[in-house]
Amino acid sequence: MTEKAGGKRALITGITGQDGSYLAEHLLERGYHVAGLVRRSSSSRLERIEHLEGRVQIVRGDLHDQSSLVRALVESRPDEIYNLAAQSFVPTSFEEPVLTAEVTAVGVTRLLEAMRQVAPEARMYQASTSEMFGQVRETPQRESTPFHPRSPYGVAKVFAHWATVNYREAHGLFACSGILFNHESPRRGPEFVTMKIARGAARIAAGLDTELALGNLDARRDWGHAADYVHAMWLMLQREDPRDYVIATGETHSVREFCEVAFGCLGLDWKTHVRVDPRFLRPAEVDQLVGDPSRAREELGWSPRVSFEDLVREMTETEARRLRGSV
């Protein structure tokens, strides 16, 4: 589906995050009027959407605050709502479990309730996650795989997932979830392992550091590119009926393999520079994830375009160029 959707209006919560910035570009290219919910902070967090200044409508609000969500919907009058806002970092969810539940779980109920009251005709996308599968019950994971979350973040996302199903079934809202596996890009936050490795390798290659401390090198993830994944979000809201989809590449790689490719593309041997630091191990780990995106391929015509090697290379080379001041 490539046709323009001229005249449509979208509200993106989490527009200042990795996915929000790619989705805003994606929708602008398709002729949408794009509004983004932005929360107050003591310093600006608009770096990822600076290049879109003047092209997106900024609406102030916070998933903690019901009235701000109602106002955001009234001001932006969306046909489509993409709920990408969350406390999204797993280790922080162990340190701040109640805040994570407030934002990542109850915040979604607040948004659904605001939608029910003032925008019931809109379509809503909820950012569900492969972290809900946690201690996996089957491999690969698909839409019917039972959930077994392993962190307060995963628990909060399961709540939000079922809240979305419930508002669809109980109130007839067009609300659906994408169960997205890990997706990365040069805009990934620095605390996530992929950017930590890409940046760490680039700094070592530039002689700024000599080693990189990581946690569990055996963990395996199904890593795709964020630009591919926001396209799937959009496709889900173009369907006639709301349905949930697994979005994944179907391949799994370890943190160790990520290191090997990242350091390798800068001419370095990762084994010389990476050390394991127990501070980065988690109280409960998700050992391995790999998704089965068959439903998305068959019903949405979606498939990933960027390979694992190209993703690692793009992130690492962009970090190396950033350090040289050429990005």
Least separation in angstroms between residue 211's CB and ligand NAP is 26
Candidates 38-46, 74-82, 110-118, 166-174: pick the segment binding ligand NAP (CB under 6 A).
Answer: 38-46
Say which entry of ligand NAP, ligand G4F, none residue 245 contacts (CB below 5 to 8 A, set by partner kind). none
> Is 229 exposed, middle or buried, given 0-12, 13-18 or 19+ CB atoms closer than 10 A?
buried
Say which entry of ligand G4F, ligand NAP, none residue 145 contacts (CB below 5 to 8 A, set by partner kind). none
* Shortest-Cβ-distance residue relative to ligand NAP: 17
Residue 131 falls in the annotated catalytic set: yes
Say which entry of ligand NAP, ligand G4F, none residue 219 contacts (CB below 5 to 8 A, set by partner kind). ligand G4F
222 Cβ neighbours under 8 A, 6+ residues apart: 130, 181, 182, 248, 249, 250, 251, 252, 289, 290, 291
Least separation in angstroms between residue 293's CB and ligand G4F is 14
Say which entry of ligand G4F, ligand NAP, none residue 193 contacts (CB below 5 to 8 A, set by partner kind). ligand G4F
The answer to whether residues 163 and 283 touch, using CB atoms and an 8 Å cutoff, is: no
Least separation in angstroms between residue 182's CB and ligand G4F is 4
Question: Of 158, 79, 156, 169, whose CA–CA distance to 124 is shortest?
Answer: 79
Q: Which two tokens stand for residue 28?
A: 């602008």
Candidates 33-41, 108-116, 142-150, 258-266: pick the segment binding ligand NAP (CB under 6 A).
Answer: 33-41
- Helix residue ranges per DSSP H, 172-287: 193-205, 226-237, 255-264, 270-273
Binding mask 172-201 for ligand NAP (x = CB under 6 A): --------x-xx-----x------------
Residue 153 falls in the annotated catalytic set: yes
Looking at the DSSP assignment, which residues form a beta bridge with residue 274? 212
148 binds ligand NAP per the rule CB under 6 A: no
Q: Which residues, numbered 44-63, are part of the site for ligand G4F (CB under 6 A)?
A: none
By C-beta, is 21 or 76 nearer to ligand G4F?
Answer: 21
- What is the pairing mode between strands 220-221 and 253-254? antiparallel
How many CB atoms sit inside 10 A of residue 244's CB? 18
* Positive or negative: CA dihedral 193, 195, 201, 206: negative
Determine which residue in the list 34, 86, 204, 306 makes contact with ligand NAP, applying CB under 6 A. Answer: 86
CA–CA distance from 27 to each of 2, 6, 22, 281, 289 (Å)?
A: 11, 10, 9, 38, 29
Residue 229 falls in the annotated catalytic set: no
Determine which residue in the list 16, 83, 130, 318 makes contact with ligand G4F, applying CB under 6 A. Answer: 130
Number of helices and strands (H, E) in the chain? 12, 13
> What is the per-residue burial (b if ≥16 Cβ within 10 Å, else e) of 72-109?
bbeebebbbbbbbbbbbbbbbbeebbeebbbbbbbbbb
The answer to whether residues 179 and 186 touch, using CB atoms and an 8 Å cutoff, is: no
Say which entry of ligand NAP, ligand G4F, none residue 17 contacts (CB below 5 to 8 A, set by partner kind). ligand NAP
Q: How far is CA 261 from the centre of its chain?
A: 23
Determine which residue in the list 13, 21, 129, 316 makes contact with ligand G4F, applying CB under 6 A. Answer: 129
Contact residues for ligand NAP (CB under 6 A)? 13-14, 16-20, 37, 39, 41, 45, 62-64, 84-88, 103, 127, 129, 180, 182-183, 189
Contact residues for ligand G4F (CB under 6 A)? 88, 90, 129-131, 181-182, 191-194, 196, 214-216, 219, 221, 255, 280, 282, 285-286, 289
The catalytic residues are 129, 131, 153
